[in-house]
């Protein structure tokens, strides 16, 4: 039995991680992170739950990365802390992974093995071919996985475009040949399935950026994702044409540009790039700054510019700021705040609602249809997207003629199994058997011959692990609930000292609040709350077992009820009770 087990990415945007398993061999496709959702207060990032991988550690033979975006490689350092196996990826992706591992001194623990589009590798029973696909970063690949039960195609993140850069064109001819060879299952990116038509071309974005830069008399500041190397090259070409010098600002973009330049993905003449410290020595019309912060990250270079805390660059009247990226769901408010701050400082701000300064790296409906038509899979599994995206993609596949029972709508943790049955095994199943025909998993098998049956056959433990600082997984639902309560209703600390022998309150009760104000108009609350506390102390007899614990428990409950009854708030109550 071949098993395909998504541990992340099917039910959310990001967190991509998938297990391919056959007998005693497992390899992993991608190890991505997800940015925290609104309710995850204080959380830095989210990674997939890797319990299944820990339980099957001895079976894991390799990790394969499809491209260099954080939602596909951001959790690699956490994964390689658990296992030490070879990591296969294309040159640019591998370089960024190497940088991550060096930062935490893990770069010598796992072999990093470079592959190129068109090459194949073997991992036990699997042969894996890397196929070039176009995306919003360089060196993206899809996977054609030859397994003992059939050929599986995993698209990775892709779009089908027509581009003058050969290294950024999806190899549709290879997908067509795979379709002729026979594809058992297609696993296809669902991120943009709700958008009709085709993805806009990068050339259109280049033309829009060129026009904005040429019309600007002052400095031009362009914020984008650091990994979007093709966009950076477009901007460099525009800078050369408009006789501007280029400044790269932001640690991630500086590292990424250095890697891309060394690998030959970025080309620019000597003298074009200047240090950010020299930016004020040039006339404004000679400056073009490429920076990070398009998602409104509070500590990013663009955010510091907009708030006046950047050491070298502060936004001023005459600057043109371009946000050349799409907002990640959940970041809309932060991006809006950045835009407002930029306007307050007199800048001209251009973003995707105003001009076509960004194009998605994910296929729209017509491209997704083309991928299905080219590969002609027997089974279809939508991947990479929230549940609504998966459902919409599944319906799209059905409209193209894939039988409903052959569209497997899986979520994180589901086990999608493909099992080959021989003639004898099918005959022995006796599932609705009649007249030498079998109905198995809803599919009529007309003749008792060798066939592969795909179905969702169970589930494994999966979920999300929250990373808070150096803590991994120690923030759970109860902690998030407390943080939410603290943010909404504040904190009240009750402190008092009690005589152990007599039970008399020697000090207090004193109430201190944070985020829960005892104002002059509600001063009676303190007096009444103290009365509530003292009544509880008197009610519990001296010498009672665990008297302090009883007081603490009843005090929390009584004060919560009192505050909610009087002012409709539920502050977190922290009793500090000392017996002497």
Q: Which of 350, 378, 398 is the last residue of a domain?
A: 350
Q: Region 205-230: what's the mean pLDDT?
A: 93
pLDDT number for residue 433: 42
Q: What are phi and psi of 394, to 5 degrees?
A: -60, -45
CB contact at 8 A, 461 and 52 = yes
For residue 73, what is the domain's CATH number?
A: 3.60.15.10
Q: Is residue 355 part of a domain?
A: no
Q: Based on the fold, state whether residues 41 and 135 are members of the same structural domain.
A: yes
Q: Is residue 183 part of a domain?
A: yes
Q: pTM for the whole thing?
A: 0.83
Q: Based on the fold, state whether residues 182 and 36 are members of the same structural domain.
A: yes
Q: Is residue 53 part of a domain?
A: yes
Q: Based on the fold, state whether residues 390 and 334 are members of the same structural domain.
A: no
pLDDT number for residue 449: 47
Task: Write out pLDDT tens, residues 389-415.
Answer: 999 999 999 999 999 999 999 999 999
pLDDT number for residue 527: 81
pLDDT number for residue 523: 61
Task: Write out pLDDT tens, residues 505-515.
Answer: 889 888 888 87
In whole numbers, what is the pLDDT of the chain averaged over residues? Answer: 87
Distance CA(530)–CA(526), nearest Å, equals 6
Q: Which of 445, 467, 489 is the last residue of a domain?
A: 467
Compute CA distances 299 → 16, 221, 341, 502, 557, whole Å: 26, 17, 14, 55, 40
DSSP H helices, 34-90, are: 51-55, 70-73, 76-82
Provide the domain limits for residue 314: 202-350
DSSP H or E stretch at residue 288:
strand 287-291
Q: Is residue 244 part of a domain?
A: yes
Query: What does the block give as tokens for 237?
Result: 């070409």
Of the listed ranges 89-98, 311-320, 421-430, 520-529, the least confidently predicted one is: 421-430
CB contact at 8 A, 142 and 133 = yes
Query: What does the block give as tokens for 507?
Result: 């000090």
Query: What does the block give as tokens for 45?
Result: 């990032």
Q: Based on the fold, state whether residues 329 and 385 are members of the same structural domain.
A: no
For residue 490, what is the domain's CATH number?
A: 3.10.20.580
Distance CA(191)–CA(14), nearest Å, equals 10
Q: Based on the fold, state whether residues 57 and 190 are members of the same structural domain.
A: yes
pLDDT number for residue 166: 62
Whether the link from the prior residue into 209 is cis, omega within 30° of 0, is no
Statement: residue 442 has pLDDT above 90:
no
Residues labelled as active-site residues: 189, 362
Q: Based on the fold, state whether residues 161 and 301 are members of the same structural domain.
A: no
CB contact at 8 A, 365 and 197 = yes
Distance CA(35)–CA(13), nearest Å, equals 9
Q: Is residue 19 part of a domain?
A: yes
Angle of CA points 247, 253, 255, to nearest 5°: 110
pLDDT number for residue 448: 41
For residue 300, what is the domain's CATH number?
A: 3.40.50.10710
Kindly write down the DSSP assignment for every residue of 97-147, as one continuous string. Answer: HHHHHHHTT-TTTS-EEE--TT-EEEETTEEEEEEE-B-SSSS-EEEEEEE
Kindly write down the DSSP assignment for every residue of 381-435, as one continuous string. Answer: EEESEEHHHHHHHHHHHHHTT--GGGB----TTEEEEEEEE-HHHHHHH-SS-BT
Task: Write out pLDDT tens, residues 330-383.
Answer: 677 888 889 999 999 999 999 988 899 998 899 999 999 999 999 999 999 999
Q: Based on the fold, state whether residues 302 and 163 are members of the same structural domain.
A: no
Confidence of residue 430 (pLDDT cuts 50, 70, 90): very low
| Total of domains in the chain | 3
Statement: residue 211 has pLDDT above 50:
yes
Q: Is residue 435 part of a domain?
A: yes
Q: Which of 318, 350, 382 is the last residue of a domain?
A: 350
CB contact at 8 A, 268 and 257 = no
**DSSP helix, strand, coil percent of the chain (3-state; round to 5):** 35, 25, 40
How many CB atoms are located within 10 Å of the residue 251 CB?
Answer: 11
Q: Is residue 184 part of a domain?
A: yes
Q: Based on the fold, state whether residues 456 and 501 are members of the same structural domain.
A: no
Distance CA(89)–CA(30), nearest Å, equals 10
Statement: residue 97 has pLDDT above 80:
yes
Report which of residues 296 and 535 the model is more confident about: 535
Confidence of residue 238 (pLDDT cuts 50, 70, 90): very high
Q: Is residue 54 part of a domain?
A: yes
Q: Based on the fold, state whether residues 486 and 514 are members of the same structural domain.
A: yes
Q: Based on the fold, state whether residues 497 and 433 are members of the same structural domain.
A: no
pLDDT number for residue 299: 76
pLDDT number for residue 425: 56
Q: Based on the fold, state whether residues 160 and 239 are members of the same structural domain.
A: no
Q: Region 531-543: what's the mean pLDDT?
A: 84
Q: Based on the fold, state whether residues 40 and 10 are members of the same structural domain.
A: yes
Task: Write out pLDDT tens, residues 133-162.
Answer: 999 999 999 999 999 999 999 999 999 976
């Amino acid at each position: 039995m071949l098993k395909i087990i998504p541990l992340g990415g099917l039910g959310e945007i990001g967190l991509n991680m998938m297990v391919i398993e056959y007998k005693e061999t497992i390899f992993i496709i991608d190890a991505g992170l997800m940015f925290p959702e609104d309710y995850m207060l204080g959380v830095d990032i989210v990674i997939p739950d890797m319990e299944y991988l820990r339980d099957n550690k001895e079976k894991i033979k390799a990790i394969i990365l499809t491209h260099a975006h954080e939602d596909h490689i951001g959790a690699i350092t956490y994964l390689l802390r658990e296992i030490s196996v070879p990591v296969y990826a294309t040159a640019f992706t591998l370089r960024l992974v190497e940088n991550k591992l060096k930062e935490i001194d893990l770069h010598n623990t796992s072999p990093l093995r470079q592959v190129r589009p068109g090459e194949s590798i073997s991992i036990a029973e699997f042969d894996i071919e890397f196929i070039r696909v176009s995306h919003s970063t360089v060196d993206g690949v899809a996977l054609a996985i030859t397994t003992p039960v059939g050929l599986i195609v995993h698209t990775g993140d892709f779009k089908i475009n027509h581009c003058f850069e050969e290294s950024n064109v999806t190899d549709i001819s290879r997908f067509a040949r795979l379709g002729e060879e026979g594809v058992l299952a297609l696993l296809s990116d669902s991120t943009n399935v709700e958008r009709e038509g085709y993805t806009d071309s990068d050339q259109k974005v280049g033309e829009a950026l060129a026009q904005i830069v040429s019309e600007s008399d002052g400095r031009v500041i362009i914020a984008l994702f650091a990994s979007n190397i093709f966009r950076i090259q477009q901007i460099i070409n525009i800078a050369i044409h408009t006789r501007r010098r280029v400044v790269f600002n932001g640690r991630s973009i500086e590292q990424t540009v250095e890697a891309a330049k060394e690998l030959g993905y970025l080309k620019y003449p000597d003298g074009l790039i200047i240090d950010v410290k020299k930016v004020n020595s040039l006339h404004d019309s000679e400056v073009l700054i490429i920076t990070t912060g398009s998602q409104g990250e509070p500590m990013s270079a663009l955010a510091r510019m907009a708030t006046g805390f950047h050491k070298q660059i502060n936004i001023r009247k005459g600057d043109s700021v371009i946000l050349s990226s799409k907002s990640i769901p959940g970041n809309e408010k932060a991006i809006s705040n950045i835009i407002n701050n930029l306007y307050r400082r007199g800048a001209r701000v251009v973003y995707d609602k105003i001009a076509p300064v960004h194009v998605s790296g994910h296929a729209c409906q017509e491209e997704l249809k083309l991928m299905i038509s080219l590969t002609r899979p027997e089974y279809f599994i939508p991947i990479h997207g929230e549940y609504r995206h998966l459902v919409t993609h599944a319906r799209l596949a059905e409209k193209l003629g894939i039988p409903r029972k052959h569209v497997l709508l899986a979520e994180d943790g589901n086990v999608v199994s493909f099992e080959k049955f021989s003639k004898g095994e099918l005959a022995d199943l006796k599932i609705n058997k009649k007249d030498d025909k079998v109905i198995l998993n809803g599919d009529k098998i007309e003749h008792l011959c060798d066939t592969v049956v795909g179905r969702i056959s169970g589930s494994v433990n999966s979920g999300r692990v929250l990373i808070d600082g150096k803590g991994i997984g120690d923030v759970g639902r109860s902690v998030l609930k407390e943080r939410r309560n603290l943010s909404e209703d504040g904190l009240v600390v009750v402190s008092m000292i009690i005589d152990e022998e007599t039970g008399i309150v020697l000090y207090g009760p004193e109430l201190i609040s944070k985020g829960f104000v005892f104002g002059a108009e509600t001063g009676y609350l303190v007096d009444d709350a103290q009365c509530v506390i003292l009544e509880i102390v008197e009610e519990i007899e001296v010498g009672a077992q665990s008297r302090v614990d009883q007081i603490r428990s009843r005090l929390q409950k009584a004060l919560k009820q009192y505050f909610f009854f009087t002012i409709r708030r539920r502050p977190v109550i922290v009793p500090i009770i000392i017996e002497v």
